[in-house]
Amino acid sequence: MTVIRAYAAAKLNLYLHVLGRREDGYHLLDSLVAFASAHDRVEVESTPYFSLQLHGPNSLPLLMEDTDSNLVTKAVKRLADALGRKPEVTVKLTKNLPLASGIGGGSADAAAALRALCALWDVPLDHPAMVELAARLGADVPVCLGSRTSYFGGTGTELSPAPDLPEDCWVVLVNPGVSMPTPAVFEARQGPFSSPARFTTSFTDVRELATLLKDGRRNDLAAAAERLSPVIPQVLAALDSTTGCLLSRMSGSGATCFGLYVDFDHAVAAAELIAGIRPGWWVQPATLLNDLSGLEVLEGTLLDWP
């Protein structure tokens, strides 16, 4: 029996600018999106029925919900419907990433399920049904479907190639155990809109990347998220206090923050320090990879982290 495994990588907004708001209420964005080796895992296999099995340290909230409300279930059933077939698969989702945390989460899981199903059902990833379905499932699903460093524009459906990130680009992800509803953060945002801030050059090393990210680039949702959850500044301060941290920033609508580090050793040391001081926080060292779209691309490269 064939089992297809796909990795749902954590999505990081290295910067996130809000450019405006449409009449229908949706915001227009400009963001540099990268993907980290921290991940959930999705496995699919053919069965005579549909089933979603939930595992992993952050699966409990999902186990308490109706299966039909899970974005993975919606992705599977809507793709099957679009292809004129029955959703006769069992999906095993191992949930390692925290929920509603600004790093893709459910969108990455749905995108991984779609990639795995395409491999199982012999459907090309650029099939028209896939493109339309990804956009309807959620703003982050199209970029997570590609899982490669990209510029994210419009409401999330306008994707453009971005320069490759430097090799050995290490981060520490920290979530203080707080879920942040994205609509509430956008509604709480105040102040003027920003301009696009895309790079015109590539990055020679991680220090140059950090310098460019600090130069007029930020997360426009950070101030609103900090008002809703005052623990976020504590997370950023914890990252800034560690040796080798070049930049700290909140990702997406929060509350997960990341620190960009000079190398692997400093990232791992920082993660161990923060986890020791704040045992209730989710802390994960990871590397940024430019293209994680292959189903097995992460095999043998993932960090073993409890």
Which pair of tokens denotes residue 11?
């999505």
Identified catalytic residue from 11, 95, 109, 220: 11
Secondary structure of 26-51 in the HEC alphabet?
A: CEEEEEEEEEEEEEEEEEEEECCCCE
95 catalytic, yes or no? no
Residues near 180 by Cβ (< 8 Å), separated by ≥ 6? Answer: 100, 101, 102, 225, 228, 229, 253, 254, 255
Distance CA 84, CA 211 (A): 50
CB atoms within 10 A of CB 159: 17
Ramachandran angles phi, psi of 36, nearest 5°: -110, 160
66 catalytic, yes or no? no
Cβ pair 29, 153 in contact under 8 A = yes
Cross-strand bridge partners of residue 17: 30
Identified catalytic residue from 109, 140, 240, 265: 140
Q: Which sequence positions are flagged as catalytic?
A: 11, 140
